[in-house]
Amino acid sequence: MLVEKGTILDFKDFYLTYKDKVYRYAYMHFRDEDLAFDIVQEAFSKIWTKWEQLDIERNFQSYLYSITRNLVFDELRKRQVRHQYSELKQLGVEAEDNSNEESIAYRDLEKLYKEAISKLPKSRLEIYTLSKEEFLKNSEIAERLGLSVNTVREHIVKSNKFVRGYILERTSISLALLIFFDIF
């Protein structure tokens, strides 16, 4: 299928506007230039594959942030598995296939994340959902709910802090430290 010239230009502008931000976000977490470039490439590849289906009314920046955050989480999970494997290898223990355990751990973490979100006060939950799941800009949320942009921003910051704390309190120390030092 041929892509309209306008769509290509829009994507190109979007890429040029946000590629450095995605790179800085990834580099901040890993301090690895090659990995940061890989995450930029992967994030924009995911956007490109869905570019024509994306709703113009949605906030592409939030969507890009969600994709990038998920790629960072995935890489952190891979690093944790590699670290555990190398520790077992040093101890002389044969590693067994634990892909089911990893899958369960990921689902547990996702469940914990959803549990944390559900515990947010109603007003914060609504703002958080509009921001993180519907990818609306703070100004759009403020307009929709009749609030100031600063109030929306404050609710999102407090929600993020609560969700992060909730997860950290309920995860194992090693995972909590990994997440704390590498993500937050």
Q: Which pLDDT value is given to residue 90?
A: 64
Amino acid at 130: L
Q: Each residue of 28-43: pLDDT tens digit?
A: 888 888 889 999 999 9
pLDDT band at 175 (very low <50, low <70, confident <90, very high): low
CA separation, residue 153 to residues 99, 114, 127, 138, 163 (Å) = 38, 21, 9, 7, 15
Q: Of 128, 113, 8, 16, nearest to 70 (Cα)?
A: 113
CA distance 163 to 152: 16
Q: Which pLDDT value is given to residue 4?
A: 45
Is the pLDDT reported for residue 176 higher than 80?
no
**Mean pLDDT across 104-127:** 84
Q: Each residue of 36-73: pLDDT tens digit?
A: 999 999 999 888 888 877 766 667 778 888 899 889 88
Write the CB contacts of 142 (distance below 8 Å, at least 6 apart in sequence): 148, 149, 151, 152
Report the alpha-carbon angle 64-148-161, nearest 5. Answer: 55
CA distance 47 to 85: 33
Q: Is the pTM of this model over 0.75?
A: no
CA distance 71 to 40: 10
CA distance 177 to 184: 10
Is the pLDDT reported for residue 137 higher than 90?
no
What b/e sequence results for 129-140 when a residue is b if at least 16 CB atoms lie within 10 Å of its CB, and e otherwise?
Answer: ebbbebbbbbeb
Q: Each residue of 82-104: pLDDT tens digit?
A: 766 666 666 665 545 556 666 67
